[in-house]
Amino acid sequence: TAPPPPKPPETVYSTPPSPLPPPAPPLVLPSSQAGRSRKSPDTILAKPLASKPPPKPPDEGTPPLLLPSSQFNNPQSRPP
């Protein structure tokens, strides 16, 4: 009873969103993959350029770099 439910939703979501999700999925995936994926950022920067590509890459590139650095040094320096 568990395998049947996940099969229909995946088939319907994979078929209709296949041709329409090209620009939509890359826009949301570039946020996290933009740092390690060169193909996603390239397509996202070319399409969302008119939307807001600069605020997305710098926003995720600065906070993640400062957040992990500050949080990693803070918890490690505080406990010891």
Q: What is the pLDDT, as a whole number, of residue 21?
A: 46
Whether 26 shows a pLDDT value over 50: the answer reads: no
Sign of CA dihedral 18, 24, 26, 29: negative
Per-residue pLDDT tens over the stretch 28-42: 445 444 455 455 555
Whether 6 shows a pLDDT value over 50: the answer reads: yes
**Domains in the chain: boundaries:** 20-77
Q: What is the pLDDT, as a whole number, of residue 64?
A: 47
Q: Who contacts 17 (Cβ-Cβ below 8 Å, separation ≥6)?
A: 24, 25
Say how far apart CA 57 and CA 2 lie, in whole Å: 39
pLDDT averaged over every residue in the chain: 50
The pTM assigned to this predicted structure is 0.10
Whether 18 shows a pLDDT value over 50: the answer reads: no
